[in-house]
Structure 1
Amino acid sequence: MKTSIFIISLIIFLSLPSPTISISHPCNKNDEKVLFQIKKSLGNPYHLASWQKTLDCCHWYCVKCNKTTGRIIQLNIFAGNISGQIPPEVGDLPYLQQIMFHKLTNLTGNIPSSITKLTHLTMLFLSNTNLSGPVPSFLSKLKSLNYLDLSFNSFTGSIPPELAELTEVTGIRLDRNKLTGAIPESFGTFTGNLQYLYLSHNQLTGDIPRSLGYLNFTSIDFSRNQLTGDLSMFFGTNKTIQIADVSRNNFQFNLSKVELPASLTSLDLNHNKIYGGLPATLTGLRLQYLNVSYNRLCGKIPQGGDLQKFDITEYFHNRCLCGSPLPECS
């Protein structure tokens, strides 16, 4: 999650107008015309007050140009009092590389299909709004996309399996929506380098596809769903996963048989049906966070490493787990 917050913060910083930035080419007039249409579609909000004929549009708030060509490459509208829907005219900015509609809680409706015309788009952030409807399968047509964030919205329906056709994508966030159904089996066929997958706080069901074990994630968050099955395929000595949050689901597997990679720094398994014991390899990890509470674990907590620095609440409500920081084994 920290990675996503950093990316968004950096994008917002780079979107702020700066008098020190010299634009060598004036804003393209066709792009300027489209931006005025977007402003009109959004009800001419005060948030876009700088969008005026008297100022070159490369200097407008929430907009960034290519300095050589004057074409609009970023449209980052965030944290404003803006109502309405995403204007379909965004698809008429042919050189857009990045779109952000972020923290606009009065933004409603669906994702417009016109977005598929943006062949150069690499980042799509539609987060913390009130967008609804299904996650459209046509997003798979954005072949240059390397980051997709649709978090904190009201999207419903199932996750489209076509998203696996995004061969350049490294991160997908669909968390904090109202999605149902299973994680698509096709997600194990990503041919790119998918490192981040956040699906938490939805209503997803079913087993985790075994095919996901073919991928090597850096961070996953499947927490607060109704998912089932075995998660051991995410781990192993050949993996480089750092953060795994699968808490508050119905996962059921033998933790004592799981090989945890040296890269792991955060592991949250709380509120599942995981059994067995804690593997001794946990003592060799540099853990910043660990929570295995509310499971069916047994046996003595391995001594050493970082395991004793965690609070009793990270271990309690298991079948017969014992040893420091829990009471001694009888």
Structure 2
Amino acid sequence: MLHAEIPPRSPIKPVRRTINGVLLLDKPYGISSNKAVQIVKRIFSAAKCGHTGTLDPMATGLLPLCLGEATKFSSVLLGANKAYEATLRLGFLSTTGDAEGEITQLTANAGNPTLSQCEQVLQRFIGKIMQVPPMYSALKHQGKPLYVYARNGKNIERPAREIAIHAIQIKSLIDNTLQLSIQCGTGTYIRTLAEDIGSALGCGGAYLTQLRRTAIDRFDLSQTQTLSALEAMNADEQDACLLPIDCLLQKFPAVVLDEQAALHIVQGKIVANPSDISKLPEGNTVRLYDHQQQFLGLGEIISEQKIAAKRMLASSQLLKAVV
């Protein structure tokens, strides 16, 4: 698979602009999530851009990016459910768990499993299971990412963690190549899952030859844009690809404030909860809107059905999320 071509930078330093919204990017193969952020930041001439959780360089697919004030809410999707399409090569291991590492054929390879065997074994992995994170990961040990130790040939003992696999479906099985559709919870390492599946099948292990993220929470690939498509657009067309900031926050109940209450909460004052339909319990996070349905930020229900500002947009009376 060819690496993504990165367009050359202009020698003229661009003027950065304040633009706010969420871009659902179909990240190409061969670039890091941080590199994707820098490219999108340049394309939009954005003053600020960040991602909501990384994809490995060899992985493709859905990568939500936050521009401007949306970066304040980028952590919301870190704990969201995700879906992947993964291609496993059975009977082999990789030092990194994917095609980027050194590949070793296992002597334990006892032949290619049948479709029936795969279906039976995969049932063991559905539900809450324990998983040991890979050495090639960004998890920290004594302040350093594990991959730093791995690159120096050191192995650090990692405790197993509980993860949730909601569903696994076989898309195809050809010889020792197994293609799966996986729905999982946060913290799941698909590379480790591939190794464990290969081992459980009696193949000694497996590694990922391809990985594509197809969904996060309520977002999927049908809503994404590619870097090449964005490059071909004019500025207005690019801006039209951005989703409003509050699309990230739909799990929180919405509260509409009158003009005075909206002004007060923007100023950091505590306001009365205007919701008469259902009083939310103390500690709940809510989406806040003014009387014109403009998103203001997140608030928190405190004692006596009052609302305090939790995370607000800057200059909320003037700043509008992209529609």
TM-score normalised over the length of structure 2: 0.21
Higher relative contact order (CA 8 A, sep 6+): 2
TM-score normalised over the length of structure 1: 0.20
